[in-house]
Amino acid sequence: MPEQYIGRFAPSPTGPLHFGSLVCALGSYLDAIAHGGQWLVRMEDLDPPREMPGAAERILKSLHAHGLHSHTPVVWQNQRHHLYQQALDKLRDDGLVYPCSCTREQVRKAGGHQRAQCVGEQGNHALRFHCAGAQETFHDLWQGEQTQVVGEDPILKRKDGLYAYQLAVVVDDIAQGVNCVVRGADLLDCTAVQSQLFRALGASVPQFGHLPLVMNEGGQKLSKQNHAAPLDDQKASANLVQALGFLGFHPPPGLESELPTQILSWASARWQRQAVDRRNRLLAQ
């Protein structure tokens, strides 16, 4: 029997959802549902200093208002540190991580690899994963054939003791059985490092699909950092219809007056990967 599709949406609670995040949530949801799959929500609350109080709850409320419900209970990274530590222990036992207290500049000058000074490092240090120079070739669902070379050994645990995104995202995708990762094209460049980590942890590498980004007038992607407007949950149906337009649909007039769940079933019955234009662009008005 073919393996069931398991997809996910994994927001970081650094601010409320904006239209760009809705496009990713919706694209990952529709791709999963259209393939008879499950869609999971994972809250990536891994970095308290970067988080905005109340953002996680607000994100979940927005997803709910837009009819986007996780098939399994929402997982919170903040409660999963033991899993990240277990994975680090395994990588350490396999000789794949090393302590490092270099600055980024020093690492860059060393070609992204371990420097002699790092060997036997004591005291406050980060843990890095040996993979600089590794090459990954893969077919991305929207960005096509990709060849990426890892430029620098990534940090898996920071000097301040926090687990890094790259480690947690892979450990959780493995633990949750995620086999198709649909997310924004801003994360395309992380794929080689993450694929290396999947392999090092003995798991198979999921299919990746990076959706086009919604840009603002200034040519930047909509993001919490550049203060994209939060989604208005009162306009959930209109937001969904607009996001469907960005993902290549031609919604019929009147779809906007349907409930979010009806809009989602209309769209999941018609989802076509090839209808999505891979280019990052402004939202068509």
The residues that touch ligand GLU, with contacts defined as CB under 6 A, are: 10-12, 44, 169, 183, 187
Instruction: Report in angstroms how near the CB of residue 224 gets to ligand GLU at its nearest.
Output: 9
Instruction: Report in angstroms how near the CB of residue 27 gets to ligand GLU at its nearest.
Output: 11
When the beta carbons of 41 and 236 are compared against ligand GLU, the nearer one is 41
Task: Please state, in angstroms and rounded to a whole number, the distance separating the CA atoms of residues 154 and 166.
Answer: 8
When the beta carbons of 40 and 240 are compared against ligand GLU, the nearer one is 40
Q: Are 260 and 236 in contact (CB under 8 A)?
A: yes
Q: Are 6 and 32 in contact (CB under 8 A)?
A: yes
When the beta carbons of 15 and 99 are compared against ligand GLU, the nearer one is 15
When the beta carbons of 10 and 63 are compared against ligand GLU, the nearer one is 10
Single-letter amino acid code for the residue at 264: L
When the beta carbons of 99 and 184 are compared against ligand GLU, the nearer one is 184
**What residues contact residue 127 under an 8 Å CB cut-off, 6+ apart?**
88, 92, 97, 98, 99, 100, 155, 156, 157
Q: Are 198 and 24 in contact (CB under 8 A)?
A: no
Torsion of CA 136, 139, 144, 149, to 10 degrees: 0
221 as an active site residue: the answer is no
Task: Please state, in angstroms and rounded to a whole number, the distance separating the CA atoms of residues 272 and 284.
Answer: 20
Instruction: Report in angstroms how near the CB of residue 40 gets to ligand GLU at its nearest.
Output: 11
Instruction: Report in angstroms how near the CB of residue 185 gets to ligand GLU at its nearest.
Output: 11
| Choice among 61, 90, 109, 224 that is catalytic | 224
Q: Mutual orientation of helices 236-246 and 19-34 as an angle, nearest 10°?
A: 70
Instruction: Report in angstroms how near the CB of residue 244 gets to ligand GLU at its nearest.
Output: 21
Category of 35 on φ-ψ map: left (φ > 0), alpha (ψ -120 to 50) or beta: alpha
Q: Decide: helix, strand or coil at residue 70.
A: coil
Looking at the annotation, which residues are catalytic? 224
